[in-house]
């Protein structure tokens, strides 16, 4: 509203006149803030905070308006290995999310090489690569370093195949040891799940959408990406079925539609979902009404877990997925059945849940194993 008043006062009569007044309004707002509080320094991020909502509004109102949208970085090493990311997508068939992981890892390598004045990939050596992995190992988790090492091996094999390096350096990358079944799944109790669901304000469109998402997470153990991909066509109301396409294991799954989940989705569709031609099931509640993405699904799960005061390491959508599996283990389903239910590609992925009953395992360790078994 302040921008509208400013633009009109400075001669704007049409929508197309607004774009040329954005920078002037930002400077006017900052100078006005300085005049009102001369002793208080202006935050560096203030200009960005003022500009962002105006840019978002003008992108909707003015076809072709871009504003100061955050520019995407070029692919790392695009000048020396221009075909690598095409190789990942076309030859290896990686999903976009996996390609982004490679981008992140190689951007880190590129920054490290620049810091030690290594300008060409032909200068790479086992010592340089070992020093790079060691430096990241001091800041990243074991899981992240393992992903880094995997991405580096693929990249180095590609460089050798394309004769961009004299020898294959992939064998010089040593990933940290990660022991099978060394960690516990980060699940929560069912009482904590109920407490989380109770803090959702289901009177609002936002609450109706989020409540349906949380029920899908904890009832079917879906991944955030799978929920974001759900479409209106995946709901079979006549047969009371929910279809989950494109699972991580490369197949689709059809679930019986739980009455509780079905009611929550129906309530969202009738009273919470915006009027849009978008076919994705879950959409943003404010314009533009685009589809809800995977990271947003995980962030909403994190928000409600924290709002409910549930303490768990790395709270997110996977916390509720683990909780779903825990309930199936407690109900004495076989690990094969559980793996099929939640869409595990390998039985090894389900094995970690075999030790989820920590109290029983503690009794075994204390010498009461025969009674427990």
C-beta separation of 148 from 133 below 8 A: yes
Identify whether 89 is a catalytic site residue: no
Q: Which of 142, 157, 248, 280 is catalytic?
A: 248
| 75, 225, 318, 322: the active-site residue | 318
**Catalytic residue flag (residue 353):** yes
Residue with tokens 């849009």: 276
344 carries an active-site annotation: yes
Query: In this structure, what DSSP letter does residue 12 have?
Result: -
Q: Is 211 a catalytic residue?
A: no
Are the C-beta atoms of residues 103 and 76 closer than 8 Å to each other? yes
| 21 assigned to active site | no
100 is a catalytic site residue: no
Closest CA to 98 of 85, 109, 110, 108: 85
What would the DSSP string read from start to end of 204-273? Answer: SHHHHHHHHHHHHHHHH---HHHHHH-BGGGEETTTTEEEE-S-TTS--EEEE--HHHHHHHHHHHHHTS
Q: Which of 202, 223, 225, 273 is flagged as catalytic? A: 223
Q: Catalytic one among 202, 208, 225, 344?
A: 344
Both structure tokens of 235:
């709901």
Query: In this structure, are residues 253 and 246 in contact, taking their beta carbons and an 8 Å threshold?
Result: no
CA distance 20 to 54: 12
**Rounded alpha-carbon distances, angstroms, from residue 261 to 89, 219, 241, 300:** 36, 8, 11, 17
Token duo for residue 164: 């961009």
Phi-psi category of residue 163: left, alpha or beta, with phi > 0 → left and psi -120 to 50 → alpha: left
Q: Where are the beta strands (DSSP E) in the chain?
A: 235-236, 241-244, 253-256
Burial 106-143 (b: 16+ CB within 10 A, else e): bebbbebbeeeebeebeebeeebbeebbeebbeebeee
Whether the Cβ atoms of residue 134 and residue 123 lie closer than 8 Å to each other? no
Residues annotated as catalytic are: 223, 248, 318, 321, 344, 353
């Amino acid at each position: 509203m302040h921008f509208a008043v400013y633009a009109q006062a400075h001669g704007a009569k049409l929508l197309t006149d607004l774009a040329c007044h954005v920078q002037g309004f930002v400077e006017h707002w900052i100078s006005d803030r300085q005049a009102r509080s001369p002793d208080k320094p202006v935050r560096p991020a203030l200009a960005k905070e003022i500009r962002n909502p105006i840019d978002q509004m003008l992108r909707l109102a003015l076809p072709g308006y871009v504003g100061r949208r955050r520019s995407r970085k070029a692919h790392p090493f695009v000048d020396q290995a221009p075909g690598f990311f095409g190789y990942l997508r076309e030859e290896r068939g990686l999903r976009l999310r996996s390609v982004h992981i490679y981008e992140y890892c190689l951007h880190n390598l590129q920054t490290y090489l620049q810091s030690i004045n290594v300008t060409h990939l032909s200068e790479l050596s086992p010592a340089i690569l070992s020093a790079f992995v060691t430096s990241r190992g001091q800041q990243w988790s074991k899981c992240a370093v393992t992903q880094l090492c995997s991405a580096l091996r693929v990249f180095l094999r590609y460089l050798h195949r394309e004769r961009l390096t004299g020898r294959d350096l992939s064998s010089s990358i040593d990933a940290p040891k990660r022991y099978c079944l060394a960690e516990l799944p980060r699940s929560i109790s069912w009482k904590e799940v109920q407490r989380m669901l109770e803090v959702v304000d289901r009177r609002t469109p936002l609450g109706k959408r989020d409540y349906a998402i949380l029920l899908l997470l904890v009832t079917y153990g879906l991944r955030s990406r799978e929920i974001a991909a759900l479409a209106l066509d995946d709901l079979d109301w006549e047969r009371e079925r929910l279809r989950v396409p494109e699972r991580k294991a490369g197949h689709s799954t059809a679930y019986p539609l739980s009455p509780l989940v079905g009611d929550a989705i129906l309530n969202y569709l009738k009273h919470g979902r915006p009027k849009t031609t978008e076919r994705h099931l879950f959409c943003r509640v404010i314009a533009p009404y685009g589809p809800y993405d995977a990271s947003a699904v995980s962030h909403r799960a994190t928000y409600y877990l924290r709002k409910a005061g549930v303490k768990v390491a790395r709270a997110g959508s996977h916390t509720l997925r683990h909780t779903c599996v825990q309930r199936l283990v407690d109900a004495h389903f076989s690990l094969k059945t559980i793996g099929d239910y939640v869409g595990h590609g390998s039985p090894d992925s389900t094995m970690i849940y075999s030790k989820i009953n920590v109290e029983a395992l503690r009794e075994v360790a204390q010498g009461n194993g025969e009674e427990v078994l």
